[in-house]
Amino acid sequence: MKKKTSQEKKPLIKTKVKPNKAVEIEIQKSPSKTLAGKVAIILIVFGMTVLLLVSLILLIIDIAGKL
């Protein structure tokens, strides 16, 4: 039989209250391991790629129009 090791799961979001009543929120997991982080990374990479391609196409059209 295999022994199962018990691992304590850390909460994803940890909140702390400072003495001046300010609330501090700390995210425990890496963004690449959470669904929201993965979506954000994909949107950033996709957005940068699309903006680069659109700007290159517009630049080529602008240069071709001057010829």
> What is the rounded distance in angstroms from the CA atom of residue 34 to the CA atom of residue 8?
18
pLDDT band at 28 (very low <50, low <70, confident <90, very high): confident
pLDDT at 31: 80
For the record, the structure tokens of 66 come out as 């001057």
- Overall pTM surpassing 0.85 (yes/no): no
Residue that wins the pLDDT comparison between 19 and 28: 19
Number of domains the chain is built from:
1
Query: What are 5-27's pLDDT values in tens digits?
Result: 666 676 678 888 999 989 988 87
User: Within a domain: residue 11?
Assistant: no
State both tokens at 14: 């940890």
Residue 65 domain-assigned?
A: yes
In a domain, 38, yes or no: yes
